[in-house]
Amino acid sequence: SQPTARPNLVGTLIDEDRLWQRHEALGAIGGTPKGGVNRQALTAEEAVARKLIAGWAKELGFGIATDPIGNMFIRREGTDPTATPVVSGSHIDTQPTGGKYDGAYGVLAAFEVLESLERAGVKTRRPLEAAIWMNEEGSRFQPGCVGSGVFVGKKELEPMLDMQDRAGISVREALVPVLEATPEATQRPLNTPIHAYLEAHIEQGPRLEAEGLQIGIVTSIQGMRRFEIDIEGEEAHAGTTPRKSRKDALSAAVRIIAALEELMHDPDDVVRFTVGRLEVSPGSPNVVPGHVHFSIDFRHPDTKVLKERGDAVERIAVEKGAPCPVTVKGFGTNPPVHFPTDIVDTVRRGAARLELPSMDMPSGAGHDAGLISAVAPVGMVFVPCVKGISHNELERASAADLAAGTRVLAEAMVELANS
């Protein structure tokens, strides 16, 4: 092997073309005609994607491990066999109409750091790991950030394994073929110690692009609560049933959502309130809807607002849903997270060494880093995406920006790994 002397800046080892090609290769798995990706958690597509990444890892001699909730770790050893690792990663599951970069970038950026150091023969004291957290998006299986949440013990393993998708398939069942895709992986327990955790991600908002900057230094993640609402109506004939004897579950949903829009109204536009899924059954034009199911995604940077407005959801739903009985299921709160200043400074120093102008910013989107913050100091680096578009097949990012963020990640990971 080669000398251990560090080249002056490890960030310069990052290979922009290789990183871009890896995004193309991964993005082809579950690729959609519109240039997006549909690779939902624990699908056959995710299994193929893991196999691909494991193949790259094996070629480089990296270790591969999985844990009981299906997180996957690629490991490059350090020189100190007793040192805890510096971990970086994200997720490879996508929204049903997702893009090539949300999540995939954080995994591929971390992998590129390991690969570029390996090819250049640069040693680090601590091991470096690239993590793939299971089910970040929470679109096939609700809630999201399950792999990272179970890893840190904020979510319980067994109930999360029992969680089902809308077809009645459990995480436990869906995990089997996905884990079989990487038979070389060793099994490791949950919550193995992490020295520090970093995550690269596209911004998913418009600010960096508007400022003409390649690098966002993330300082916090806003909090989130999710709910599922079920409304019981009564199926009836659309032509004959008088209004007074109807129990129309969709009319009830419309009243509830209108009242919740009122509750969440915010002249400062800080509150984020989304009903992203609305299911009406039986879904026939001439049947009064007998059942409605809808989702609520509510986010805010302030715990107090999350608590007060979130706690009002159930009462309002039950009240406005009458005469239809309403059930509200809450998924707990992902509280707002503020990143520790020393790790934020480490990321900032990396950008400064590379002379990449940056800005500090909060994250509106949720990330695995938010959960990992329960057990390790975390930081994040953002790069711009075109017009801030994400959770959309039109999500785009440039090769140069992806590489710039990965250079910053390399600087920060190596600084932490040698400390």
Q: Any idea what the Cα angle at residue 155 is, between residues 152 and 160, rounded to 5°?
A: 125
Bond from prior residue into 143 cis (ω within 30 degrees of 0): yes
Q: Tell me the torsion sign for CA atoms 137, 143, 146, 152.
A: positive
- Does 91 belong to an annotated binding site? yes
- Does 299 belong to an annotated binding site? yes
Minimal distance, residue 371 CB to ligand GLV, in Å: 12
Nearest to 293 by CA among 249, 237, 251: 249
Q: How many CB atoms within 10 Å of residue 219?
A: 18
- Does 286 belong to an annotated binding site? yes
Counting contacts by CB under 5 A, is residue 321 touching Mn ion?
Answer: no
Return the residue of 138, 205, 336, 366 that touches Mn ion, per CB under 5 A. Answer: 366
Range 89-120 burial, b when 16+ CB lie within 10 A, else e: bbbbbbbbbbbbbbbbbbbbbbbbbbbbbbee
Nearer to ligand GLV, 62 or 331 (CB): 331
Nearer to ligand GLV, 63 or 364 (CB): 364
Counting contacts by CB under 5 A, is residue 405 touching Mn ion?
Answer: no
Select from Mn ion, ligand GLV, none the partner in contact with residue 370, using the beta carbon and a kind-dependent cut-off of 5 to 8 Å: none
Q: Which two tokens stand for residue 250?
A: 């969709």
First and final CA of the chain: distance in angstroms? 23
Q: Any idea what the Cα angle at residue 418 is, between residues 412 and 419, rounded to 5°?
A: 90
Counting contacts by CB under 5 A, is residue 370 touching Mn ion?
Answer: no
Counting contacts by CB under 5 A, is residue 85 touching Mn ion?
Answer: no
Select from Mn ion, ligand GLV, none the partner in contact with residue 316, using the beta carbon and a kind-dependent cut-off of 5 to 8 Å: none
Nearer to Mn ion, 85 or 370 (CB): 370
Select from Mn ion, ligand GLV, none the partner in contact with residue 89, using the beta carbon and a kind-dependent cut-off of 5 to 8 Å: none
Nearer to ligand GLV, 182 or 295 (CB): 295
* Cα separation, 284 vs 215, whole angstroms: 50
Counting contacts by CB under 5 A, is residue 103 touching Mn ion?
Answer: yes
Residues that bind Mn ion (CB under 5 A): 102-103, 365-366
Q: Which residues are annotated as a binding site?
A: 91, 102, 137, 201, 226, 286, 299, 391
Q: Which residues are annotated as a binding site for allantoate?
A: 226, 286, 299
